[in-house]
Amino acid sequence: MSNDPIKNKALVLEAFETLFNKRDYDTALKYWSANYLQHSAHIAPGREGLFDLVRAAPADLKWEYQLALAEGDYVIVHGRFSNTGRPAAWIAADIVRMENGLLAEHWDMLQDEATSNESKSGLPMFGEAFPDGG
């Protein structure tokens, strides 16, 4: 049982890469608790709900992150989910609670990525550039 934030952050990033980008469901099982609690309004309960969501997503779904922060058993990842089948990519803040070295609980905040014309701040939501190149 570890609440080492450095290890927890590395595990969450590796887990997300394995599931969302590699779609390696067998390996992903080793990262998610069998008792995984899902608080997202967009995902069915448990790790099977999450895995089923990814299975149903377009083959070119892509996850990337810009920032990951960890404190104790909690990791927050600022990321982008593109090629989701929706008109705009999702910018996400995913909050994960770790337990016994596994992803045990998840919350998220999702927002459609704004184009340069839609951004009142004039700044991109993710990275250094807008998705439309503006």
47 close to 32: Cβ distance less than 8 angstroms? yes
Structural domains of the chain, with CATH: 5-112 (3.10.450.50)
**Confidence at residue 1, expressed as pLDDT on a 0 to 100 scale:** 47
The tens digit of pLDDT for each residue in 92-117 reads: 999 999 999 999 999 999 999 999 99
52 close to 75: Cβ distance less than 8 angstroms? no
Residues of the chain with pLDDT under 50: 1
**Confidence at residue 27, expressed as pLDDT on a 0 to 100 scale:** 98
**Confidence at residue 112, expressed as pLDDT on a 0 to 100 scale:** 96
- Helix, strand, or coil here: 134? coil
**Confidence at residue 2, expressed as pLDDT on a 0 to 100 scale:** 61
Burial of 100 (0-12, 13-18, 19+ CB in 10 A): exposed
For residue 35, give the amino acid letter.
N
